[in-house]
Structure 1
């Protein structure tokens, strides 16, 4: 790393706290409800297609996920899905919007290590109310100098956010998604740190830019203090 680091940002879902596992559990229930109409693998393929189509309409988050499940249920049943199934899908979405926040290991320690460097930001995408709820319940909210909830994580979004500090070139983005957290940050001129999580939404898959000079990968947040200590 060849430039002084002044600002550090973290992703939220599946970087600081668990999230994707709640989607997986709901998908399993979705497959059970639609089992009389289609095989689970085919259903998940149709659901993923619906999610890809609907991101531009609904954005990221639980509400769009539920609407995509309902749309898929209508498709695979030729519009004959029972109202009780639709009701259960809506209830499942409401449960997801109330699930407790379960921090990942070393989350607070990683934030404290980042605070020693400079301003610490949270940059997340998804439903505004849900993300605000999770930040509030996490107990980590006071550790951030700023919280940015964006519709999509793009190079332009990172450039805009970090221009309010010392620019992307002296900033670092830490997250579990190569597609959203790392690659767009590298394109913006900053550093991207990949922290793998066991579960990842298919839409977030991307190749690791291992040859990029500003790309780093750590096994978990417990390795972040050591990474930061080696930065000039």
Structure 2
């Protein structure tokens, strides 16, 4: 095991499997359902406001998203939204919760390439039941030494998790597609932050790129992870 890098954390949604595109498809459906009541951009702005406001109540994930859609529908219609629309939004959320997992390219290979030499941890946030379902369906669960499903990814979250492993945060790397949660927060905790762009990013997860920080790295995709790990280990 390398002296410089001993532990690798992986994000899940949109790093190992597709996720955000299902939210965006449902958002498009939401704007179609309410097209007679408000313009698309206005609806999306109001929905985003509701999502940000409700994170502290519902956390991250599909259930909070559905509740935010319902709340927005009630607000933009002045409490006159038809019950049929509410039902359709609930059904859309249920479809999201039942959607099969589709792994992103190189996901399994990237994890397998480092499991023999490093401690490997899955660190994801969201609804516990849904995240457990996705992990089980992904077939990747057996590859991780530990799985951490957290309510938020802050620098302290990473200090607490990586502090349990060899040499702590200074010898840890976090790999993910969210600049805010998977890169900036780990770097602030003293880890390496490795950005793997996905293309679709929720507005809440955007942040300035710490391009000049010595512990920041960016990969084109997960196929490049093995080489980076070898260089840092």
- What SS is found at the alignment partner of 2:64? helix
- What SS is found at the alignment partner of 1:147? strand
Which residue number corresponds to residue 120 of structure 1? 120
The 4+ residue runs of structure 1 with deviation greater than 6 A are: none
How big is the shift at 1:225? 1.0
Which residue number corresponds to residue 148 of structure 1? 148
Which residue number corresponds to residue 39 of structure 1? 39
Q: How does 1:211-230 map to 2 (within 5 A)?
A: 211-230=212-231
Distance 1:100 1:223 in 2: 26
How big is the shift at 1:24? 0.6
1:137 to 2:122 alignment: no
Which residue number corresponds to residue 209 of structure 1? 210
How big is the shift at 1:116? 3.2
- 8 Å contact from structure 1 (residues 7, 117) kept in 2: no
- What SS is found at the alignment partner of 2:217? strand
How big is the shift at 1:113? 1.7
- Give CA-to-partner distance per residue, 1:14-53, whole Å, 9 cap, x none: 0000000100110010000000000000000000000010
Distance 1:226 1:169 in 2: 19
Q: How does 1:146-185 map to 2 (within 5 A)?
A: 146-166=146-166, 167-185=168-186
How big is the shift at 1:117? 2.9
Q: What TM-score does the superposition give when structure 2 sets the normalisation length?
A: 0.97
Tell me how many residue pairs correspond in the alignment. 231
Q: What TM-score does the superposition give when structure 1 sets the normalisation length?
A: 0.98
> How much is the aligned-residue C-alpha RMSD, in angstroms?
1.1
Long gaps (5+) in structure 1: none
Long gaps (5+) in structure 2: none
Which residue number corresponds to residue 99 of structure 2? 99
- 8 Å contact from structure 1 (residues 8, 120) kept in 2: yes
Q: How does 1:49-64 map to 2 (within 5 A)?
A: 49-64=49-64
1:24 to 2:24 alignment: yes
How big is the shift at 1:198? 1.2
Which residue number corresponds to residue 88 of structure 1? 88
Distance 2:229 2:7 in 1: 11
